[in-house]
Structure 1
Amino acid sequence: MKMHAEYLRQDEELVIIGPALRTSPEQAGQDIPLHWQRFMREHLPSLKDVHDVYAVYCDYERDHRGPYTMVIGTRVSADAPVPEGLRRVVIPRGEYARFMTRGDPAQAVVRTWAHVWDGWERRGERRYVADFERHAVSAMARGTTEAEVWVGLS
């Protein structure tokens, strides 16, 4: 399946607060699903009037082959307090490639990232500051995925 990127400029910083996970490519297949389960169980039920959940990939040790941090959370104002046990991460302004994905929660986003790592012609231009996924809460409630994968470009 061919995936198409739309190239966009993100003109404002996005501030996300949520639980953080430090992982590596070797552990991600095990760690990330558990992190999502924890978020869905412990955080999502208390969120009111939230339309999107963000999964931010940041603190890259070097590139997609090394350890990184994942924060799952919601967008907040720049001056929002950070509750104990949660992490604040800033998605910087800049150029991004956006991939749209939908379908089975266990496969759709993974398939998109596999394309970014191995098949996408501009993968060598990645910035490795903050990449993110924006998930529609309405789709999550139906047990499916409707998400955007944003990849920072240098």
Structure 2
Amino acid sequence: MSQFIQTKKIARLDPIRFIGKPVVTSNEAEMKGEGVIPSLWQSFNKHSIIEKIPNKKNPNILAIYTNYESDEAGSYTFAIGAEVTTINQVPTGMKSFFIRECPYVVFTTRKGSIPEIVVEAWQYIWEWSKTNKRAFLTDFEVYDERCKNPENSQVDIYISVIGDFPLF
């Protein structure tokens, strides 16, 4: 295991209601520099999208990966937004998602610059995925109070897995 990535087991989370701004992309497009994730983040921050999401459950920002075409090689929906208490009001240009209950493994990045630590963690997760069974339901990143300084942040990444999973 990387000395910079911590893993821990989360048995199950309660279902999560989410509202956010979505795009469809693929890891191939993102790695080739043809992706849309950086521009979505830029737009999200520039236009204070988080402030436009009603009924937020907490101040955290979530970035979700869902509607996987297949696995890490296929397309998926990426959305940035927040956990909400109800999805009765979805602002124009946003979409609601329901993150269902399932087992997750949580990867915690080292502290550092957000783009750097998140890419580093995903590279580790893709390696880890070669010998572990991901569910490819919904995976998500949590940007909480540890992310106030984008140059010295720490992010949790929740990966949906299949079946019972051993503790690390």
TM-score, normalised on structure 1? 0.87
Aligned position for 1:111: 120
Contact 2:53/2:91 (<8 A) preserved = no
Aligned position for 1:94: 102
Contact 1:98/1:149 (<8 A) preserved = yes
Among candidates 32, 35, 48, match of residue 37 of structure 2: 32
| CA–CA distance in structure 2, aligned partners of residues 11 and 41 of structure 1 | 31
Deviation of the 1:45 alpha carbon: 5.3
| CA–CA distance in structure 2, aligned partners of residues 83 and 35 of structure 1 | 16
Cα 1:90–1:123, aligned 2, differ >3 Å: closer, same or farther? farther
Deviation of the 1:124 alpha carbon: 3.4
Deviation of the 1:81 alpha carbon: 1.7
| CA–CA distance in structure 1, aligned partners of residues 19 and 140 of structure 2 | 13
Deviation of the 1:35 alpha carbon: 0.9
Structure 2 alignment gaps of length 5 or more: 163-168
Deviation of the 1:122 alpha carbon: 6.9
| CA–CA distance in structure 1, aligned partners of residues 122 and 21 of structure 2 | 21
Cα 1:131–1:121, aligned 2, differ >3 Å: closer, same or farther? closer
User: How well do the aligned residues superpose, as a CA RMSD in angstroms?
Assistant: 2.2
Equivalent position amino acid for 2:61 in 1 = V
Cα 1:110–1:83, aligned 2, differ >3 Å: closer, same or farther? same
Structure 1 alignment gaps of length 5 or more: none
Matched, 1:65 2:70: no
Contact 1:71/1:89 (<8 A) preserved = no
Deviation of the 1:123 alpha carbon: 4.9
Equivalent position amino acid for 1:96 in 2 = Y
Cα 1:79–1:127, aligned 2, differ >3 Å: closer, same or farther? same
Aligned position for 1:133: 141
Cα 1:107–1:94, aligned 2, differ >3 Å: closer, same or farther? same
Structure 1 segments of 4+ aligned residues over 6 angstroms from their partners: none
